[in-house]
Every structure is written in C-alpha cells, then in structure tokens.
Amino acid sequence: MTDTAPEIRVNNKSYKWLSHEIQSSDPYSDYTKIWRLSIEYTGGGDFVQNLLYAYTFANFVATEWAPEIMWRNGSGKVLTQATDRVSETQCHFSTWWYYGPHHPETRKSIDTINKRHKGHAKSYPGHFSYESDYTYVICFTAISVDRLRTKLQLSRFTEKQKIAAYLFWKVMSRLFLVEVPGQDWKPLSEFPGFPEDWNGMYRFCEDFEDNHMVATDKGHMIAEALFDQFAFRYFPSLIRPLGRALPISLSLPQTLKAHRIKEVNPVLACMILFVIGTLIWIMEIFLPDPKISCQESLRMHPADQSKKIKEQTRKVDAALPACFARNHQASAAPCPFAVPLK
C-alpha cells in the first residue's frame, strides 16, 4: 500500500457525489478511501464532534482499570482540561480517518498515543495489558456510525462500507501497542481473538457490553464529566439538562447501567432521536454533500482564529470543574474540586 492519502478531486463533483464515489470504489483495494468518504465528510462542526465524543468515550471506561488511568484522582484531562481533550482527540481521529493506516501522519499520531500509554503505565503497571480493551475500542469505532444510524432509523452502511471498515481497522490494529508485563509492548495484531469480519466486530462489541462492563465510582464520574462537558460548553445553565440529555439519549443502555447514569425520560429521548435523525435525513436528501473534509477544515483555520478558539477553550475548561463539583458533591467518588465549595 502507498504512504500517500487517497486523492479525491471534489471541485467538479456533482451535488450528491459521496455515495456514487463510495459505490464506484473497490472495498478491498480502496478501503482507506471508502472509510475516509464515509466518516470525514459528515459536516456538523465542533458541536457534532463534541456530541459524538461524549457519547463514544463513556463506552471505553466501563472496566476496572480504564477509569483509574483516565480519572487519575480528579487530575485527568477529562475534567481539568475537558474541552482541550475533545479537540486533541478530534485532531487524532481526523488524522486517522483522512490519511489512513499506511500514511506517516497516522503512524506519527498513534506513536504519540503509544508513548503516552507507556508513560501512564509507569504509574499504572498492567493497566494497558488487556488486549480485549483495545479490540473493543477498535470494533466499537468501526461499527459506531452504522450502529448510530440504526438507532436514528437512517440507512445503514452498504456492504462495501462494511468490508472497507473492517479492513481499515484490521490494519489499524497493527499500530496500537499493548503492554506485556515484564516484556516489551506488542502490536494488538499479534494477539489472538481479533474478529474475522464485520459481523464478528458487531458480535465482539455486543458480548463485551453484555458481559464485561463493570461499574466503578471513577467510571461513573468520568461518564458524568463527559456528559457535563458537552452540556456546559454549548448550553446556557437553564437548559443544560437538555444538553446532557443529547449524548445520554444516544448512549447504549448497557453503558448507562454500568456507569449508573439515569436514562432520559422515554418521551424526551424519542423526541431527541427523532429530531436528530430527521435533521440528518434532510441534510442528506436535500443539501449538497460536503466537499471539505474535517481534516481539511482543521488545517484551513487561520492563525488568529485558532488562537481565538484556544482562548475560548481555556475559559470553558477553567470554569467547568467548579460547575461539575456543584453538580456532584454527593457522589460516591467525590470530585476533588468539591471541597473548597462546601
């Protein structure tokens, strides 16, 4: 495979070009291109990306060890630099989606994450040695868009998209390193048990969610922080409960149960899913397909705009912990910011 990102000329494309481009591609040789077309041209901006981040990451901390690393007694970025963490994660993900697993930019991005994991492993030895956690994150990410579209009653991935998604993430599994206590770290692909196809990814996720999610106090606090951050960033105080309801309505019932998060009122949840699904359907039917990917949009920010965004992020992150503490002082795993407020 080539190190270059698949070139896609969009200037002269038709009003609705994405589906045609996907269906005219070979999923076995063009899986990087198909994944990029399926994920990177979604539109919606930071609001949608932040919503998906809140909904997604709550699934990844429903074990005994993951919350320890992410919460870090309240000093983790999930609370102290929450919005900055969203932006950083968005940047990493967009790099992978756009360039694909064979490109140096993707390898550089994942090398940064592997080094960070190795650094945390010095304080939390053995916590990065569970290859099933890595496999779940990869499988969940691969099927997440199709799964979400099913929940919103939208059209699902085509067979070509399913094949491409599986191949894309199977190759990506070679880049993530898993801790082997007493030995060097090994690529996830060298461990047995990775699903054999798209349906296997679905089955792996469902088994993990039904049988291996664990309730912890710190996991509960992380999930609360994820949902609170989204609501705090985009909604004024009087309607922040509605802001929290958005990612919670999208979440899996197994995840909410593991984190002891109360489900949204069924009527409100149905309304939220209907509105989101309808808006996406209208965009996909009547509006032109985007011609600028998320990665290209990030690169196009002028320096002064990037500086302004960072300043806004710092303000939000500075104000969030105190608000979070007021909301969760009675929690079983107290927020470290709660004590000065009592």
Rounded average pLDDT over 26-32: 97
227, 59 contact by CB (below 8 A): no
Calculate the average pLDDT of the chain: 91
Per residue in 105-156, pLDDT (tens digit) is: 999 999 999 999 999 999 999 999 999 999 999 999 999 999 999 999 999 9
Per residue in 248-274, pLDDT (tens digit) is: 999 999 999 999 999 999 999 999 999
Instruction: Report the alpha-carbon distance of residue 222 to residue 74 in Å, rounded.
Output: 9
Instruction: Report the alpha-carbon distance of residue 39 to residue 114 in Å, rounded.
Output: 24
Can you read off the two tokens belonging to residue 20? 């045609």
Using the predicted structure, report yes or no on whether residue 8 has a pLDDT greater than 80.
no
Residue 222's Cβ-count burial label (10 Å; 0-12, 13-18, 19+) is buried
DSSP-derived 3-state class of residue 160: helix
